[in-house]
Amino acid sequence: MHAVSRAGDVSAREVVVNGAGPIGCLVVSALKFAGAARVIAADVSPASLKVATAMGADEVRDISRGDELPRDPEIVFEASGATAALGGVLRAAARGGTVVQVGNLPGGPAEAVLGDLVTREITWIGSYRFVDEISTAVQAMAEGLDVAPVMTHSFPIDDALVAMRMAADRSTGSSKVMLHIA
């Protein structure tokens, strides 16, 4: 919800979310809740794209199959955190569009044609965590916002090591892996 608020008014707009891991899928859900007309999610993992669909994505693009990001969306969320995705995201955004960087990028160098920021007048906004949106999120869930599809697996606390391994292994199809404390 914080990332969506950083983008400004998304109501009745088409929005792209690149990266359909847990954060990207929650962005999809928050966008739909905020009134986005159409949300397109892109990822390299078919399992992640299934979760994105369950979270409200109107369309998904499987980058691993050669699908491309839509061209010229006014708002793009980069939620993959993959430096290799930056160039494609900046090229996809519309002239004068906004890119919200949600995926936490590594601290090292990243290759991207940053000249696109200038020549295409793209606004690139960072989004990191939240403070005030927790009450809004709880209220949204009370009003029916369903985030359950992002929680793909759950384990008792005694199986925490197995749960952590599953969460760390993208090939398992996991999104959010939950531990039951009691």
What pLDDT shows up at residue 55? Answer: 97
Q: How high does pLDDT run on average in the chain?
A: 93
What pLDDT shows up at residue 113? Answer: 75
Task: Please compute Rg for the chain using Cα positions.
Answer: 16
How far, in Å, CA of 82 to CA of 43, rounded? 11
How many Cα atoms sit within 13 Å of 37 on the Cβ side? 7
Residues of the chain with CATH 3.40.50.720: 2-126
CA separation, residue 4 to residues 58, 83, 106, 140 (Å): 17, 21, 22, 14
Please provide the distance, in angstroms rounded to a whole number, between the alpha carbons at the two ends of the chain: 29
pTM of the model: 0.92
How far out from the chain centre does Cα 3 lie?
9
What pLDDT shows up at residue 69? Answer: 96
What pLDDT shows up at residue 107? Answer: 82
- DSSP secondary structure string for all residues of 130-176: -STHHHHHHHHHHTT---GGGEEEEEEGGGHHHHHHHHH-GGGT-SE
> What does each of the 182 residues of the chain score in pLDDT, given as a tens digit?
999 999 999 999 999 999 999 999 999 999 999 999 999 999 999 999 999 999 999 999 999 999 999 999 999 999 999 988 888 999 999 999 999 999 888 887 777 778 888 999 999 999 987 778 889 899 999 999 999 999 999 999 999 999 999 999 988 989 999 999 98
In the three-class reduction of DSSP (H, G, I as helix; E, B as strand; rest coil), residue 106 is classed as coil
**pLDDT digit string, tens, across residues 111-129:** 777 888 899 999 999 998 7
Closest CA to 143 of 62, 33, 38, 64: 33
In the three-class reduction of DSSP (H, G, I as helix; E, B as strand; rest coil), residue 14 is classed as strand
Helix (H) or strand (E) holding 32: helix 22-33
What pLDDT shows up at residue 111? Answer: 74
What pLDDT shows up at residue 32? Answer: 97
What pLDDT shows up at residue 115? Answer: 86
Q: Which residues contact 111 (CB under 8 A, 6 or more apart)?
A: 83, 84, 86, 87
CATH-assigned architecture of domain 2-126: 3-Layer(aba) Sandwich (3.40)
Closest CA to 106 of 78, 86, 81: 81
Q: Which residues contact 40 (CB under 8 A, 6 or more apart)?
A: 14, 15, 16, 17, 57, 58, 59, 60, 61, 70, 73
What pLDDT shows up at residue 70? Answer: 95
